Amino acid sequence: MATRPSLLELSPADLRGWFAARGLPGYRADQVRRWALVRRAAAFDEMSDLPKVLRADLAAAWTLFAARVADHRRAADGSEKLLLELADGQRIECVLLRDDKGHCTVCLSTQVGCGMGCAFCASGIEGVARNLSRGEIIEQMLHLQRLLGPPTGGERLSHVVVMGMGEPLANLDNLLPALDVAVADLAISVRRITISTVGLPRGIRRLADMNCQYHLAVSLHAPDDTLRNQLVPANRAIGIAAVLAAADYYFEQTGRRVTYEYVLIGGVNDQPDHARRLSALLRGRPSLVNLIPLNPTPELPFRPPAPAAVGDFAERLRQGGLNVEVRRRKGDEIAAACGQLRRGGGTGAKTTHQDTLP
């Protein structure tokens, strides 16, 4: 594993400062960032328009990739999942998703594990170890970007969803600088970046006050506090009313419609009465309900809903005046679907190992 610090931890200003301290012009820092973030360099030696002495100095002081790709899995639907081993030996997973229009989405983790304890989610089985650094979040994007075709080809990253392991709003200080890189260097529109949260009101309000224009997705999963306290233990200290008030504030400040994610669990929260109460809860709010049929985890005692139950639930919400989408399942073949990412890596088919990166 890398013993040198990661260059990705530096802000653009810090990197320019490193060059300035050595009497070098600022444009050299811009060249290095372009090689690392856009041209997909795996090592400083590939940066051919930099002097050899400078490349050697950079390699002696920094590393580009502090994490090792411990496992790489591919699914028939085009999804790919990486298990990354970080510099301290901790492990996280991240995912590349493709659609039939050539769009490529990266699904990023923000913590090693998750401390929210959602009863149906694999990410929290072992709890949370720590927040990821800004560089570790950026590095996920770069590792996933390297799975695409050549930079001159048709594939490019078009969307970012912060829906992997961890609670994003518990690590905003590191997440936001990483998303700045996605916008400024990878040319991903802020309107194509989604931050998914269990619903931490203080974090939601902080994003609203920044008017950052990211898309906010709130993981609701229940129409009342009694059931949500069971499925989302963090709700016991928050309550649905506070979550919705913060989400309303986000819409007021940004003008961006909030998505409410609702994992449908067979026999638990997928009944007609749940749909009726959810309609009453969200009616009148500019929002979208994203229904997610449960992706099962072997260790957890929950089952997916019947397809007919999913269709019935969606129709009842529509009749109740809500905008509804049913998420298309992707990556479940390699345990890369919603709720299946985990610290130690999941199971799945079509495994290769990719240990060639530094």
Q: Name the strand (E) or helix (H) holding 96.
A: strand 91-98
Buried residues in 99-111 as b, exposed as e (16+ CB within 10 A):
eeeeebbbbbbbb
Q: Quick check: is 93 catalytic?
A: yes
What is the C-alpha separation between 199 and 318, in angstroms, rounded? 24
Cβ–Cβ contacts within 10 Å for residue 187, how many?
11
Q: Distance between CA 16 and CA 28 in Å, rounded?
A: 8
Alpha helices by DSSP H, listed for the chain, are: 12-20, 26-37, 52-61, 134-145, 172-184, 201-210, 225-231, 240-254, 272-282, 307-319
Give catalytic status of residue 212 as yes or no. Answer: no
- Residue partners of 237: CB distance under 8 A and separation at least 6: none
Beta-carbon contacts of residue 51 (< 8 Å; ≥ 6 apart): none
Q: What is the rounded CA–CA span in Å between residue 258 and residue 251?
A: 7
68-74 vs 351-352, strand pairing mode: antiparallel
Q: Which is catalytic among the residues 9, 93, 136, 139? A: 93
Q: Please, are residues 243 and 205 in contact by the beta-carbon 8 Å criterion?
A: no
Report residue 30: phi and psi, to 5°: -65, -40
Distance of alpha carbon 82 from alpha carbon 140, whole angstroms: 9
Contact 30, 24 (CB under 8 A): no
Structural Rg of the chain based on CA atoms: 21
Please tell me which residue in 94, 114, 121, 338 is annotated as part of the active site. 338
State the CB neighbour count (10 A cutoff) for residue 335.
Answer: 25
* CB atoms inside a 10 Å sphere around CB 140: 27
Note the residue count of the chain: 358
Report phi then psi at 143, rounded to 5. Answer: -60, -40
Query: Which residues participate in catalysis according to the annotation?
Result: 93, 338
